[in-house]
Structure formats: C-alpha cells, structure tokens
Homo-oligomer: A and B are copies of this chain.
C-alpha cells in the first residue's frame, strides 16, 4: 500500500460515487500533487481486476469507476447534468429474457440504466 494507492482509494470512498479516471486524478492531485495520470489509470485497472471497483458506461464518453462493487445495483442517470444514483430495482431482469430471445447465449449478467431528469434540473 503506497501513498498513491491510498489516495486513489480515498477519492473513491463513499456512496453514489461514479467518477471518471480524470476526475479521480484531479481529486487525487489535490491530496498528493505529484501523483501521475499513469498511476491513477494503473491503480484503477488493478482495483477493477481485484473486483473492488466496477467500470460503468452510463455516459457514452469516459468510463466511470464505481467503488460499490459488493452490493449489486443499477443506475439512475440525469440526462441533463449527468448525476448518477445507485438504485435497487425489484424483480430479476434475467427472468424477463425468454429462451427464444437468448440466441443460444449463456447469459450471466444484466446492466440496467434508468434515465430521466433529476430534481435539481427539473427545478431549473
């Protein structure tokens, strides 16, 4: 555990955290000015390999890094401002995919992304 890894872990701590690599880097620099972009990317990659952090693709640009890897969940995204909340829908979407719609695939995972407008953006 080096200072660099500790700082990345600190930046990723919390609820509803879904930062891009550059956002992680920028916040890490605030705490440890000499940390490099490459180290942030390397550390994020290691955390993903270890299963401690998830990559999510809720926007169509940069990957986002999600420390909430141990409680399965889905995402609710504001189409205006990009705010992201973790959500726990009821029901199992896997059960909603009939065999006739599986094309012979062995299906193991589902990602659900809800989109809408957050209260802030609705007020504005």
Contact residues of A with B, CB < 8 Å? 55, 57, 59-60, 63, 76, 78-79, 85, 87-91, 93-94, 96-98, 101-119, 122
Interfacial chain B residues near A119, Cβ < 8 Å: 103-105
Q: Main SS of the interface on chain A?
A: mixed
Sort A-B residue pairs by CB-CB distance and give the 8 closest, nearest first. Answer: A104-B119, A107-B116, A89-B96, A109-B115, A91-B96, A105-B116, A87-B101, A57-B60
Closest-CB distance, A107 to chain B (whole angstroms): 4
Q: CB distance B115 to A107 under 8 Å?
A: yes
Number of copies: 2
CA distance A96 to B89 in the complex (A): 5
Q: CB distance B93 to A118 under 8 Å?
A: no
Q: CB distance B113 to A111 under 8 Å?
A: yes
Q: CB distance B87 to A106 under 8 Å?
A: no
Q: CB distance B114 to A112 under 8 Å?
A: no
Identify A97's interface contact among B89, B103, B106, CB under 8 A.
B89
